Amino acid sequence: MDLQDFNGDGLYFDEPQSAAVDSLLAAAAEQYAEGGAEPPLLAAQALAPDNLSVLVGLYRFYYYQHRYQDALQIAEQVMAVVGPRLQLPADWRHIDQDALLVAAERGIGLLRFHLLALKGAGYLSLRLGRFEQGKAMLVKVVELDADNRLGARLLLDVLAANNAEIVTFPTAATAEIRP
């Protein structure tokens, strides 16, 4: 299956949303440079918690603010919202080629969106030091995207090229303090 073979179905930003959500997203965009984007984004999420445009806005906001844990939670929420629409297993570890074929019939654009959220979650997990989880997520994306249309293989290549022993440094909470 070629994940670049769009079939004309709508993308996440094509979904209808209320005027109130539109207004809040516009306010977030206007206030981003001054650092005031989060309150309107959270207000939009309160009105439309499963709206993909709102979730993408929150993800991007958190990612570019280097709030990786918050961005990871949004990526996981995206997968939880999109997965059922595509009849994908709730646990990304159980997605296989058969599930991918069923999902593609329901919408290749939405399937790409789901897999990109999984790729993003993998990358964020790596950034947060959750190397096993991050690598497993990226391996799953590569397994499902044999043609590397989503570019996850590069992240695995970088990870493999820089594979070194992970040394945990003590923190103030775990360090032994000697007089």
- Structural domains of the chain ordered from first start: 12-161 (1.25.40.10)
Residue 43 amino acid letter: A
Given a contact cutoff of 8 angstroms between Cβ atoms, the answer to whether 116 and 103 are in contact is no
CA angle 25, 30, 15 (to 5 degrees): 20
Position 169 scores a pLDDT of 56
Distance from the Cα of residue 13 to its chain's centroid: 15
Q: Which pLDDT band, with edges at 50, 70 and 90, does 153 fall under?
A: very high
CA distance linking residue 131 with residue 178, whole number of Å: 32
Position 177 scores a pLDDT of 47
Given a contact cutoff of 8 angstroms between Cβ atoms, the answer to whether 5 and 107 are in contact is no
64-108 pLDDT, tens per residue? 999 999 999 999 999 999 999 999 999 999 999 999 999 988 888
Position 15 scores a pLDDT of 72
- Give burial (CB, 10 Å; 0-12/13-18/19+) of 41: buried
Structure tokens at 48: 């439309």
15-19, 23-27, 159-163, 170-174: which has the highest mean pLDDT? Answer: 23-27
96-115 pLDDT, tens per residue? 999 999 998 888 889 999 99
Position 8 scores a pLDDT of 55
Structure tokens at 143: 């397994």
1-57 pLDDT, tens per residue? 454 555 556 555 667 788 999 999 999 999 988 889 999 999 999 999 999 999 999
